A = this chain, B = another copy of it.
Amino acid sequence: MPNSAKPDLRLGIAGLGTVGIGVVKIIQRHADLIAARSGRRVVITAVSARDRTKNRDADLSAYAWEADPVALARRADIDVFVEVMGGHNGPARAAIEAAIAAGKDVVTANKALLAHHGHDLAIAAEAKGLLIRFEAAVAGGIPVIKALTEGLAANQIRRVMGVMNGTCNYILTRMQSAGLPYDQVFEEARQLGYLEADPNLDVGGIDAGHKLSLLAAIAFGTRVSFDAVELEGIGAVSIDDITLAADMGYRIKLLGVAQMTGRGLEQRMTPCLVPAESPLGQLQGGTNMVVLEGDAVGQIVLRGPGAGEGPTASAVMGDVIDIARGLRLPTFGQPATSLATPIAAKTATPAPYYLRMTLLDKPGALAKIATCLGEAGVSIDQMRQYGHLGVNAPVLIVTHKATRDDIDHAVGLFAGTGVLVGKPVVLRIEAV
């Protein structure tokens, strides 16, 4: 319960890029509001960034300056170390380790760092009774870590899904709305500044995979296991598939799915088809969406901005205010020492699949493909043969529910038919 006698909560902020400056601005703008809600004042003691001389969109003159984030983390006059530098090794990691060693709670927006080192950091923090909070690391301004860890804490989580990389969703929805090929929209996105310095972090699904691995740890009480995420980026998604999928009532999304099965934990971040009229299917542009499914609650859908100064700073400050209010939870919702090591399971939950292939224009070609599917135990829900362009016929097949292994088996058999041109496109249709 708030108590006006509580001392100020003193922050050290490492990183003065978009997010760091966003945090500074919120604290300056809403000092009284935050105090009313927290029961104490939240103040900035010191900040750190690479370049002190850079012109920044906030007045930092009242704060001590540390050139070295590790030195900032160790300052005696901070209670919480706010890490918004980014990078999964190097200074960010060293500074968080220093903060924990020095007895500071940590708030971070660093999904890459936590996906790789979150478990070890949580062990270290919890051994000293310290917090690592990371709402801003997943889905920007959407309070999804809180919803999953706290709001849905009485549920056995069945499945977590999410569109959590705004750049990929921008590219895919722009391809569809403008009818443009991937390469052209990718170039647009680059020029708009939507891509990371290493674009593969975005379009390769790595960034979104980091986020998924953090949600999975909380949802299933398992150690973060990013290496076990099946990753497939959007670089191979063609405008043909987007158009044909739309024609059949679907949208293609870079969709993260984590679920615990009898065989182990499935985690995948791959292009999937989802029904066009579902909330995920309707998600346009850079907005993020996370779907949480629990045995008691059913399905909860959260939608909001996945990036940007205000949304990300809002999430960082939500964590800071929780600390100011005295909420103290283990990093992943239960003690890190109690998290199980998950058995990584290759995706084996059956689903319908979308197959697109080109067949030689020979009599019986389609029958041969259908026979292969039958041999692999895969039954066909819909099949469409499009008008012949030259000598070859594009064919679209939507299967009934099948395992990925059975689909791969069928596709392997296709090769022996002698009617297939090139490689088939295989996309999972996720029931949402």
Q: Which residues of A contact B (CB under 8 A)?
A: 1-2, 22, 26, 30, 33-34, 36-39, 126, 129, 135, 141-143, 146-147, 150-156, 221, 277, 279, 282, 294-305, 308, 310-311, 313-315, 317-318, 320-322, 325-330, 333-335, 338
A304 touching B310 by the CB < 8 A rule? Answer: no
Q: Which chain B residues border A135 with CB–CB below 8 Å?
A: 151
Q: Please, which residue of chain B has its CB at the minimum distance from the CB of A339?
A: B36
Q: Which chain B residues border A302 with CB–CB below 8 Å?
A: 300-303
Min CB gap A288→B, angstroms: 10
Q: Which chain B residues border A277 with CB–CB below 8 Å?
A: 282
Q: Which chain B residues border A146 with CB–CB below 8 Å?
A: 143, 146-147, 150-151
B325 touching A329 by the CB < 8 A rule? Answer: yes
Q: Please, which residue of chain B has its CB at the minimum distance from the CB of A154?
A: B317
Q: Which chain B residues border A30 with CB–CB below 8 Å?
A: 154-156
Q: Which chain B residues border A298 with CB–CB below 8 Å?
A: 141, 304-305, 308, 310-311
Option from B36, B156, B303, B317 in Cβ contact (under 8 Å) with A300 = B303
A314 touching B147 by the CB < 8 A rule? Answer: no
Q: Which chain B residues border A310 with CB–CB below 8 Å?
A: 295-298
**Known A152-B143, A317-B153: A301·B300 in contact at CB below 8 Å:** no
Option from B296, B304, B335 in Cβ contact (under 8 Å) with A301 = B304
Q: Which chain B residues border A326 with CB–CB below 8 Å?
A: 326-328
**Known A1-B129, A330-B1: A37·B153 in contact at CB below 8 Å:** yes
CA distance A428 to B152 in the complex (A): 35
**Known A302-B300, A304-B299: A143·B147 in contact at CB below 8 Å:** yes
Min CB gap A290→B, angstroms: 11
Min CB gap A9→B, angstroms: 13
Q: Which chain B residues border A315 with CB–CB below 8 Å?
A: 151, 297
Option from B37, B299, B305 in Cβ contact (under 8 Å) with A305 = B299
Option from B2, B26, B154, B328 in Cβ contact (under 8 Å) with A314 = B154
Q: Which chain B residues border A320 with CB–CB below 8 Å?
A: 154
Q: Which chain B residues border A147 with CB–CB below 8 Å?
A: 143, 146-147, 151
Q: Please, which residue of chain B has its CB at the minimum distance from the CB of A126?
A: B1
Q: Which chain B residues border A303 with CB–CB below 8 Å?
A: 279, 300-303
CA distance A204 to B135 in the complex (A): 39
Q: Which chain B residues border A300 with CB–CB below 8 Å?
A: 141-143, 302-304
CA distance A315 to B151 in the complex (A): 7
Q: Which chain B residues border A36 with CB–CB below 8 Å?
A: 221, 334, 338
B322 touching A150 by the CB < 8 A rule? Answer: yes
CA distance A296 to B303 in the complex (A): 15
Min CB gap A79→B, angstroms: 16
Q: Please, which residue of chain B has its CB at the minimum distance from the CB of A23?
A: B154
CA distance A68 to B273 in the complex (A): 55
Q: Which chain B residues border A304 with CB–CB below 8 Å?
A: 297-301
Query: Which 9 A-B residue pairs are closest in the complex by CB-CB distance?
Result: A143-B151, A154-B317, A297-B314, A141-B297, A296-B314, A301-B303, A300-B304, A296-B310, A153-B321
